[in-house]
Structure 1
């Protein structure tokens, strides 16, 4: 069973956006994809009645020929009468008020298709997605199957361009390569061996403006041979709906004829469909994994199931809460991508698989403690923080077995709260390291709600500071923190020790308090800690 919501999610926001998804409609089963073309038949209704167009229950109806609001409204109404799952329209029709109203009243889905998307490609992609998510296991296993398809496509493209080919994603990682190896160079060998373009080769291509050209609308890019022996390259961007999904690289022996280059470029739309299918399947697997990790962190998932499905051992793990500067997963179009990239890099750097999920704008990493001790993790996170262009803070809970990861998460959250409030120096800290700050913060939180600040002479000093522009409260706090050491207290306040002594004399004139009594000092310090740490 394949729901409309599932299909839209699997294809992703690059191509599809749900404009109207009535309650319950998102769970309606999708059966097939049909193309609605009224054309010379006048109206969609007449075409249906004449048997020239067939719409069945659960169909996704593609409004290929709709050009006006009236066309769109009629198609929505007629499709709803046939119990179709949704009508797919391109902008601006999908967002017209009359069309949205018709879809809402008819309780049928209304999906907007990216303006630059080819209808033919979309039909192929939708049917591929329907096949891929026929059951959840097939969806999870689809990335491997998709990889096999990509290798076959790389072989086909190599035959077309008559040269060895690699298919790469937007991060220059190799997704597939052709079996043909008759023309090669060290750069291609190291690219295939390392499954990505090496950094030095990447830098040379970048300096020649290759990646800048990939982001433009060019169909093909030719890169001449380089002085280091790197052979020429013919590069074809892979796009769908205006988004760059990756690229195909052919190692050639020189300039390529226009015919061969055009034939090579013609393979890009086919590869694009497979890349989208691969991404949709990978996203489904990632979502399922993230939901399971989230269940571990809130204590609702079965530890035994988690260990079986995530490949985790019974050994201790550590939860790390990472604040990358956002308040919500949707705070920035690229925020979620940044968090996923961070998860991948952390796992790669510690040499162990890290699981993760995003909750409330915070990325939670679950890492095996036996494979990466805290000092190593601290270095990795500190490097990521230094490289980040946004505010970056990370706090780790203590080592816990899988069944107790919710406690490690609570510890990480508490330590992260101290970093956010700038009560401890960051950007990275562990729960164990922050024990003094945590103690003071917990005491302050408990006493603040007990009304302790209303007791004793402290309120007199606070009022004097407000009205007389004095600094008695800060002075008393520094003096109590450094008993018997006025020089240290003065350094903390950045004043001269004589100024500190003068303030203390004036302070004692304002309130009748015996600072020689240890209980009085302890009570005042408790109040001052509550003020500063709550």
Structure 2
């Protein structure tokens, strides 16, 4: 049996949102529909659907009745589900209150909830799983309705299933099925025609005429549930389709939506289990070996990739996962991923080949998205030592966040020296070394007189004996650089011939610079 929290997660946020979840949450036994004007007598553990409850007073009465009979939860639609009096009643009664998203059909919700309670939401989510097999059978059934070959695709144009009939094909369809997604050039053509804009706004069938490159006409139907676009169906047709057949094609969308939600629940359950095992590997401890065995992680060197999405990108989790889905598509085996805190982590083999670090690195380097995510990669380590690679990636993320690194992808081996400088600058700042020696005098002079003596001294220390290179760094004439050096040595008593003094000054200046960006 599932408790209400697990059931809400299984059905998914597309349809359900918890408003009140008492602790501990109750296990769900069955689904009961509260019909308008009829008494409700739920048993303990029942999930009660307030099908026609749209006002606060009957909602409160329903919740109180369910609480008295130990029902597990009451499901209501907005706006009544979020009214303060209704949520307060749920808290008093110890009953979970769940909001059903607008646009969700109650019959569809009952089907999904009962499927989850029966255990059909936890099958293996790979290509052999029952959930995916159902989609292929459904594609065949839809193909019979529209009398044309059909593909069922998700919201990212990834092919989830396709019909067996192949009597009408073109190169675009062949490429789509072989690559399990519509090719970029094909997507660009449909996008230019406004097809995806129509999909995002409507719910009826869309006819796309033939194109000059030989691409045959398409009949496209958006697949929606609860206001969310889940995907679309594409039928390859010889020409204009009758209104009756077009309508019949569109009418299959709600059924396909149910199967897509079920398929997504299956995939989500598999991803959650994988994420838990990857988290164990990255955190170390006693469970890492069992986790590696369950994930079938080979005993070879692996890297940890960390990603942070800027806050302006919107909901962080969805954006990161969608981005990884896009980046890794087509490179073979996808990385094992998990989320810890605000970061998404991917575990990839260091070897060359499908799904390995070289392929993923090329995909990361070519991927361009706005706003740009922060991506950092730890060094290659044995599976037992993955927490060290994770720590390295996290430290690089901190440097990227502070602006100390500007690479598209920061790799530890290429940036270890910056890690050294960062740690050293942090320790020097904590020890208050910036207040020692002649630097406070130069710092104050720069502040009050508008001079640039600290930057001049830093350039001199970076390029000792090479005033031309130092002046190029400051973008001034060499004579100007020499004059500044002469003036600052007159302002403070400083022995630049002493190597220890030079080292101390460089530490102070580095600490200053890193602190300003930290």
TM superposition score category, shorter chain reference: over 0.9
Show the counterpart of 2:138.
153
What is the distance in 2 between the residues matched to 1:107 and 1:59?
Answer: 14
1:206 deviation in Å? 2.7
What is the distance in 1 between the residues matched to 2:68 and 2:15?
Answer: 26
What is the distance in 2 between the residues matched to 1:350 and 1:190?
Answer: 16
Alignment of 1:312-391 (within 5 A): 312-326=297-311, 332-333=314-315, 335-348=316-329, 350-371=331-352, 377-384=360-367, 387-391=368-372
Q: 1:377 to 1:166 in 2, by over 3 A?
A: closer
On the 8 A contact 1:352/1:371 being kept in 2, the answer is no
Show the counterpart of 1:523.
504
What is the distance in 1 between the residues matched to 2:363 and 2:159?
Answer: 25
On the 8 A contact 2:446/2:453 being kept in 1, the answer is yes
Show the counterpart of 1:413.
394
What is the distance in 2 between the residues matched to 1:258 and 1:313?
Answer: 55
Q: 1:139 to 1:34 in 2, by over 3 A?
A: farther
3-state SS of the aligned residue for 2:464? coil
What is the distance in 1 between the residues matched to 2:214 and 2:336?
Answer: 41
What is the distance in 2 between the residues matched to 1:216 and 1:152?
Answer: 28
TM-score (norm 2): 0.92
What is the distance in 2 between the residues matched to 1:99 and 1:23?
Answer: 18
**Match among 119, 124, 132 for residue 106 of structure 2:** 119
Show the counterpart of 1:72.
59
Q: 1:144 to 1:512 in 2, by over 3 A?
A: same
> C-alpha deviations, 1:153-204, integer Å up to 9, x for none?
1222222223332222222222122223333334333332332223333333
Show the counterpart of 1:44.
none
1:172 aligns with 2:157: yes
On the 8 A contact 1:326/1:361 being kept in 2, the answer is no
Q: 1:86 to 1:420 in 2, by over 3 A?
A: same
What is the distance in 2 between the residues matched to 1:299 and 1:320?
Answer: 16
3-state SS of the aligned residue for 1:432? helix
On the 8 A contact 2:303/2:357 being kept in 1, the answer is no
> C-alpha deviations, 1:378-409, integer Å up to 9, x for none?
4332212xx11112332211110111111001
What is the distance in 2 between the residues matched to 1:294 and 1:391?
Answer: 25
1:119 deviation in Å? 0.8
What is the distance in 1 between the residues matched to 2:128 and 2:96?
Answer: 28
Q: 1:183 to 1:139 in 2, by over 3 A?
A: closer
Gaps of 5+ in 2: none
Show the counterpart of 2:190.
205
3-state SS of the aligned residue for 1:18? strand
What is the distance in 1 between the residues matched to 2:46 and 2:377?
Answer: 49
Q: 1:57 to 1:149 in 2, by over 3 A?
A: same
> C-alpha deviations, 1:110-154, integer Å up to 9, x for none?
1111121111111111111222368x6x46679821111112212
1:182 aligns with 2:167: yes
3-state SS of the aligned residue for 2:130? helix
> C-alpha deviations, 1:61-120, integer Å up to 9, x for none?
110121321110000110111111111111110011110110011111111111211111
Q: 1:499 to 1:228 in 2, by over 3 A?
A: closer
What is the distance in 2 between the residues matched to 1:366 and 1:166?
Answer: 32
1:453 deviation in Å? 2.3
Q: How many residues align?
A: 513
3-state SS of the aligned residue for 2:129? helix
1:346 deviation in Å? 4.1
1:59 deviation in Å? 1.2
Moved more, 184-193 or 355-364: 184-193
What is the distance in 2 between the residues matched to 1:375 and 1:159?
Answer: 44
1:93 aligns with 2:80: yes
Show the counterpart of 1:29.
27
Show the counterpart of 2:225.
240
Show the counterpart of 1:501.
482
On the 8 A contact 2:151/2:234 being kept in 1, the answer is yes
Show the counterpart of 1:104.
91
Show the counterpart of 1:50.
none
Q: 1:190 to 1:500 in 2, by over 3 A?
A: closer
Structural RMSD (CA): 2.3
> C-alpha deviations, 1:25-83, integer Å up to 9, x for none?
2xx111111100132x4xxxxx2xxxxx4411111111012132111000011011111
3-state SS of the aligned residue for 1:256? coil
1:404 aligns with 2:385: yes
**Match among 424, 428, 431 for residue 412 of structure 2:** 431
Show the counterpart of 2:17.
17
> C-alpha deviations, 1:389-440, integer Å up to 9, x for none?
1123322111101111110011111222222222233222211111222222
3-state SS of the aligned residue for 2:98? strand
Show the counterpart of 1:84.
71
What is the distance in 1 between the residues matched to 2:32 and 2:286?
Answer: 40
Moved more, 271-280 or 463-472: 463-472
TM-score (norm 1): 0.90
Show the counterpart of 1:395.
376
3-state SS of the aligned residue for 2:207? strand
1:217 aligns with 2:202: yes
